[in-house]
Amino acid sequence: MRRASLTAVSGIEDPNVGEIIVAGGEVQHRVAEIGAGITADYEGRTPLLVGILKGAFVFMADLIRHIDLPVEVDFMAVSSYGSSTRTSGVVRIIKDLDRDIAGRDIILVEDILDSGLTLRYLRKTLLARRPASLEICTLLAREGENDVDALVKYSGFHIPPGWVVGYGLDVGERHRELPDIRRYHAENSI
């Protein structure tokens, strides 16, 4: 069967959307593996998954369907990029948690780990709220980032430097709906 064109998949023709970095089927397989790992690690407990909006919502929705335990969810929204493809270096909490996390097992779910600035900030902020445990789960991590693996317990894929879109990741709120993770040639846009 022939694969639909990018235009048919996204409804938008954008010459900046490039090659597939991780195919949708590979993503789904790895998400199932991560869910099985979380199930084994948290047996007998009810972890609270904290999704970082907006990029992690697709990953987290699929992930919870692969965790064979009762789970609860909450969300935070933070900003360090705005509508740019370069971080400002300043992390701002736009939406905080709706519940107290003291004494809870927390899994922070992120779409992508770049420099680690946002996750380090969130980790410090959430640890100050005295959870029983706090682990980080990210779908993607940039290759070449120092100590990325030290921050993250559950990781999907290591990817090369460069902007990517699809499977919840966007550029200027576009291309989240793509089933694959694709290179985005940002030098031609924004």
Supply the residues annotated as catalytic: 114
Coil, strand or helix at 119:
helix
Helix orientation angle between 24-41 and 57-64, rounded to the nearest 10 degrees:
60
For strands 72-79 and 48-53, give the pairing.
parallel
| CA max distance for the chain | 52
Q: Which residues pair with 93 in a beta bridge?
A: 78
For residue 82, the 8-state DSSP code is: T
Contact 129, 72 (CB under 8 A): no
Cα–Cα distance, 95 to 171 (Å, whole number): 20
Instruction: Name the token pair of 88.
Output: 């400002």
Q: Cα–Cα distance between 11 and 17 in angstroms, integer?
A: 13
How far is CA 31 from its chain centroid? 11
Q: Which two tokens stand for residue 180?
A: 């694959």
